[in-house]
Structure 1
């Protein structure tokens, strides 16, 4: 077996698995920031994280250790860290609202993920039910989708951050809410996410997972976390759907 052949075999097997995931999905659960858009494309996530830290200092507090393996500059990691130190407090509720306002401001500069809009519309046209399950604010996700004319494709199944921050992914709470609303079995669904948190939530809910990795670094993180199938673009997912429609 040549080195070229050795590379072709796993790629072919993964392509077949991708087709199985896409064609078998009757319900699709999208993460928001990543698979649908880059929310902080022009409104830097790192700058938002710094703004949250500055807000904490204004309250006379220091940021606790992130302690969960999250990278520096992740606003949600800041929120989770404060929640772990002060669970259920007014402080956490106020910080969450500060983050929500930053997310809403970021919507205007958000960059659509290539092929996401037609993918959402095509799946909807095929009769597949869609939901958003995100650790971002549902208000920000709704504002973005409204601006793209996509809200009707997912409403009312838009599940974002709740005051119960321990239920953010990797907890499967949001995914389970969507499945219960549909009366769907986990195996009939597909979760599309771009972080190990998404993968863990899907595993805990029993939902098949497709990793979207815009960069090699994100792909390595997903692979390292155990994701079996990843794509660097949503184009092959859209192509599979369109080919299935042609064949039908």
Structure 2
């Protein structure tokens, strides 16, 4: 995606005014299920839930987090059991996850220019820490705001995680920028008042991100790293 001159200027303005960079994890930073695939993990979660008396066979999705939400609707106890199982899969996946091209450069560019980087994700903190440690990025990320265990209602698109990040950094929403790759990310950013940059890893994702109020949409994280520098 080649950005028009006006869009490049808008992106530069967004990043120039941001002292806090908030990044979604799966997509903008890493392809979490590049090893064990998301459909394979979803099937494993269904089997695990079935053994514990929770039938998720009618939930047609390849997203393990959609199944996690469904398990909590069955009961809090079932949800916690399924979530613990999902965390194990996320953490194993993080140990072999493929970096998103340009993401590590973006993180290092942000810290080298005096900005604070936080990961704000529906994935578990444990998985994210595993990935960051593996790639020597732990010291470049000030905080990880992961999925609060036992509280699926606080996952994006709810703005809870973004608001928590703002509280930790004592930043006004306009002093932050949130980079996300999903419509739920853009909705959460809008609800928290944080300008959102959409990362469209697939061409058909760009229009949906723009419709969900992402102010700028890019298809290459190198674009953001370059703009920060």
1:64–1:81 contact (8 Å) kept in structure 2: no
1:53 maps to what in 2? 46
User: Could you tell me how far apart the structure 1 residues matched to 2:22 and 2:70 are?
Assistant: 26
Instruction: Give the stretch that moved more between structures: 104-113 or 215-224.
Output: 215-224
1:85 maps to what in 2? 74
2:146 maps to what in 1? 160
2:182 maps to what in 1? 195
2:72–2:80 contact (8 Å) kept in structure 1: no
1:39–1:106 contact (8 Å) kept in structure 2: yes
Change beyond 3 A, Cα 1:188–1:57:
same
User: Could you tell me how far apart the structure 2 residues matched to 1:15 and 1:105 are?
Assistant: 38
Structure 1 residue 12: Cα displacement: 2.7
1:34 maps to what in 2? 27
Deviations 1:180-212 (A, max 9, x none): 111110110000000011111111110000001
Structure 1 residue 64: Cα displacement: 7.1
1:5 maps to what in 2? none
1:52–1:98 contact (8 Å) kept in structure 2: yes
Is 2:36 the counterpart of 1:43? yes
1:22–1:240 contact (8 Å) kept in structure 2: yes
TM-score of the two chains, using structure 1 as the length reference = 0.86
Find the residue that maps to 2:178 and give its secondary structure: strand
Find the residue that maps to 2:123 and give its secondary structure: coil
2:63 maps to what in 1? 74
Structure 1 residue 11: Cα displacement: 2.6
TM-score of the two chains, using structure 2 as the length reference = 0.93
1:125 maps to what in 2? 112
User: Could you tell me how far apart the structure 2 residues matched to 1:47 and 1:123 are?
Assistant: 35
User: Could you tell me how far apart the structure 1 residues matched to 2:8 and 2:216 are?
Assistant: 8
Equivalent residue for 2:165, pick from 178, 191, 195: 178
Number of equivalent positions: 227
Say which one has the larger Rg. Answer: 1
Find the residue that maps to 2:34 and give its secondary structure: coil
Equivalent residue for 1:217, pick from 200, 204, 207: 204
Find the residue that maps to 1:216 and give its secondary structure: coil
2:102–2:222 contact (8 Å) kept in structure 1: yes
User: Could you tell me how far apart the structure 1 residues matched to 2:224 and 2:6 are?
Assistant: 15
Find the residue that maps to 2:147 and give its secondary structure: coil
Alignment of 1:227-242 (within 5 A): 227-242=214-229
Find the residue that maps to 1:238 and give its secondary structure: helix
Deviations 1:117-174 (A, max 9, x none): 111011101110111110001000011001111111113x111011211101111111
User: Could you tell me how far apart the structure 1 residues matched to 2:129 and 2:206 are?
Assistant: 27
Which ranges of structure 1 fall in alignment gaps of 5 or more residues? 1-7, 243-248
1:18 maps to what in 2? 11
1:65–1:81 contact (8 Å) kept in structure 2: no
